Structure 1
Amino acid sequence: MEVYQLANIKSAKKRILVNRTKAARNKSIRSAVKTSIKKVETAVQKNDKAAAQAALTEAISTISKATSKGVYHKNNCARKISRLSKAVNSIG
């Protein structure tokens, strides 16, 4: 699988391939986080406390995993979780 690349040095070619692999992994993880956040926000808009609570638990897990893998900074993770929790708690 020869991919068009400008690099001539073997280590540089390897870096290109490794970076592509890592970028694909990060993209997949970010997508999963966005989906879980969207599920919480949808439940909050529908004022469904039980569904929002369940979605929040799932979202916190997904976001924490992404942070532990180095996809997000820990403060970014904390901010996302805080905003989601605040939104779920605002449901009357």
Structure 2
Amino acid sequence: MANTPSAKKAARKIERRTEVNKNRRSRVRTFLRKVEEAIASGDKEAAQTAFRAAEPELMRAVSKGVFHKNTASRKISRLSGRVKAVGAATA
């Protein structure tokens, strides 16, 4: 347990920040899940719409420090390829 006043304050700040980051991470996962579901259903239009909504959400999480930039870029790149493949598979 923290003893000094500054350590106690740091512990409080970390607790608040953790809560905010949990919410941000959850929000991003929700957007990613919507893309995954649209891909699984084979609906290219829905997949593209969900992907366009998920991409800025992922990058916003990067700017807030929730995800590393390369992690988000990798996820976006892989999702983009899969969204493109939805149309090719059904066509």
Q: What is aligned with 2:15? A: 20
> Larger helix proportion, structure 1 or 2?
2
Give 1:32 deviation, angstroms.
0.6
Is 1:43 paired with 2:43?
no
TM-score scaled by structure 2?
A: 0.92
Unmatched runs of 5 consecutive residues or more in structure 1? 1-5
Count of aligned pairs between the two proteins: 87
| Cα distance per residue 1:16-58 (max 9 Å; x no partner) | 0000011111111100111100000100011101110010011
* Alpha-carbon RMSD: 0.7
Instruction: Determine the C-alpha separation between the residues in 2 that align with 1:9 and 1:79.
Output: 42
Which runs of structure 2 are paired with 1:1-92 in the superposition (5 Å)? Answer: 6-92=1-87
Runs of 4+ residues over 2 Å off in structure 1: none
TM-score scaled by structure 1?
A: 0.91
Unmatched runs of 5 consecutive residues or more in structure 2? none
